[in-house]
Structure 1
Amino acid sequence: MLDQIDTLILHQLSKNSRLSYVDLAKEVGLSRVAVRERIDRLIEEGIIEQFSIVINAEKLGKKVSAFLEIDVEPKYFESVAEMLMANQKVAVLYQMTGPCTLHMHILVEDHQALDRFLRDSVYSIEGIVRVESHILLRRFKAQDGLNI
């Protein structure tokens, strides 16, 4: 169970995972060693899964963010999911409830790259019945992980 200090540590790390133990200790009112022990425990318990960075895809030339809804024949579900997961362009792949089997997010350079990706990496996979694509126009909010 998380106490108030653990919650504060998680909140601070979710804003900046590069905070040093010393800076974090000042924020939460504990010693550096106590903060390190708490973080180690949070990692060991699986509450903290990883420390990561957020990369600006547009600055790396990935100007098109597309969300794909993919219907898959049930007997091909696992093999289709494995093939899509192996593709470097796939940022996120979810199985969700509703009319579509898989929901996928990809980042590509332009509309031509999206077309190539669909033709070469999606339409050619056996078991895919239907693909519907949606292109992001504007992002209002994006966050990774849980808001603490």
Structure 2
Amino acid sequence: MKLDLVDHKILQLLSKNGRMSYVDIGKELNLSRVAIRERVHTLMKEGIIEKFTVVVNTEKVGKQIQALFEVECIPSEMIEVAKKLSEHPSVVSCYEMTGPSTLHLQVLVQSQEQLDQFLHDELYQMEGIKRVQSHILLRTFKRQADFELM
């Protein structure tokens, strides 16, 4: 699907406010609510919009510790390791990256004890992992869900 300027503007508006109504988007773009609804449904059907979600302040819901892990895997086992790690409830993102580490993980836990348990009971015990390097997030300076699409 080739996106036109209107599609880009709809995506931009929804990335800033996923609860924005079709009527309000239509007013911004001088289109009808029905035209916006059809375009949004097409963007969803084509997989361009994957889902609508909220941004949660993790500390306010008890997830006090956020850690990033660089995981070096045995190449032939990387996909299986990534699948297993992605199923763990504390893992919020798992990426294959270039560089010396194969996988990069973002993990959210409630306490230092939970982080230690994740490290020792999950990461260090999993077959296919050669090396793990951990980084604990101290402070966030920028966290942005919306971004320029054009």
Gaps spanning 5+ residues in structure 1: where? none
Q: Report what 1:115 is aligned to.
A: 116
* Worse overlay, 75-84 or 105-114: 75-84
**CA-to-aligned-CA distance 1:16-55 (integer Å, 9 cap, x gap):** 1111111111121111111111112222222212111111
Q: Which runs of 4+ in 1 moved over 4 A?
A: none
Deviation at 1:142, TM superposition (A): 1.7
Deviation at 1:85, TM superposition (A): 1.1
Question: Quick check: 1:143 aligned with 2:144?
Answer: yes
Q: Report what 2:13 is aligned to.
A: 12
Gaps spanning 5+ residues in structure 2: where? none
CA RMSD across the alignment? 1.4
Instruction: State the AA in 1 paired with 2:114.
Output: A
SS at 2:80 equivalent: helix
Q: Report what 2:23 is aligned to.
A: 22
Instruction: State the AA in 2 paired with 1:32.
Output: R
Report the Cα distance in structure 2 between the residues aligned to 1:5 and 1:11, rounded to whole angstroms: 10
Q: Report what 2:79 is aligned to.
A: 78
Q: Percent of counterpart pairs with the same letter? A: 50
* Worse overlay, 90-99 or 25-34: 25-34
Deviation at 1:145, TM superposition (A): 6.2
* Worse overlay, 137-146 or 92-101: 137-146
Normalising by structure 2, we get a TM-score of 0.91
Deviation at 1:5, TM superposition (A): 1.9
**CA-to-aligned-CA distance 1:51-98 (integer Å, 9 cap, x gap):** 111111111110111000011112322221121111000000011110
